[in-house]
Amino acid sequence: MSHPGPIDDSALIQIVDAALVDAARRSGDWLVCKPGCYQCCVGVFAISQLDALRLRNGLHALDASDPDRATRIRARVAASLARIAPDFPGDAATGLLPEFTEPSEAEEAFAAAFEDFANDEVCPVLDPATGTCDLYAERPMTCRTFGPPVKNEEGGLAVCELCFQSASPEQVAACEMIPDPGGMEDRLLDALQQQTGTHGTTIIAFALRD
């Protein structure tokens, strides 16, 4: 079921997508991302509740516009969960990953477990026949910002290993993408949490679980 409240992240998506277009323009031939290149679609990663909501709404819209494709996505989701749920380092009942308010041994243990979790698992939203995303317009923020240089948690610039092969550090820095300079995503996440009571991160397969 679609989210009942008025949370609408379309303005955020426009901001992020515009930032991607600008970064891609500055990156030129260093950015080699293209349809059918899906290395970044292999391996599980955390997504926000806003990402999860967007994906679910996209899948439900697909039920009306292309039910066969929606059915194929759900089949891949079920197959993926059958493989990875037993070793999920979070709460398999809710699909939520644990949250930590301060550094601890438990956080270190989780980080190590998640680092090694399902690294070879292909995203269930990826169409294996075409190598493209079946919910591209609704893809998570990590997917929207993958490729161009983006600041990571350590303050460095992370790029796809296939991109910027011959670029200098200065050239990479000149192509930096700043996805959400106004912090709109955090405000939307706060509003979503107030409406639903759900917070924390999950993964795509759990977000789309029936």
Q: Averaged over 186-209, what is the pLDDT?
A: 95
Q: What is the pLDDT of residue 152?
A: 85
pLDDT at 3 over 80: no
Which CA distances in Å does 77 have to 6, 44, 70, 89, 205? 27, 13, 11, 18, 5
* Sequence-distant contacts of 182-191: CB under 8 A, at least 24 apart: 182/15, 184/11, 184/12, 184/15, 185/9, 185/12, 185/48, 185/50, 185/141, 188/7, 188/9, 188/12, 188/50, 189/48, 189/49, 189/50, 191/7
Q: What pLDDT does residue 5 have?
A: 52
Residue 125: name the closest of 117, 133, 114 by CA.
133
| Beta bridge partner(s), residue 127 | 132
Which whole number is the average pLDDT over 47-67? 97
Q: How far, in Å, CA of 135 to CA of 123, rounded?
A: 11
- Tabulate helix, strand, coil % of the chain (nearest 5): 50, 5, 45
Q: What is the pLDDT of residue 168?
A: 95
Local structure of residue 98 (DSSP, 8 states): P
Q: Give the residue carrying structure tokens 């679910």.
A: 56
Whole-number percent of the chain with pLDDT over 70: 97
Q: What is the pLDDT of residue 180?
A: 96
Q: What is the pLDDT of residues 62-100, one digit of tens each?
A: 999 999 999 999 999 999 999 999 999 999 999 999 999
State the average pLDDT for the chain.
94
pLDDT digits (tens, 9 = 90+) for 139-174: 999 999 999 999 988 888 999 999 999 999 999 999
What does the pLDDT average to over 182-190?
Answer: 96
What pLDDT does 6 receive?
Answer: 60
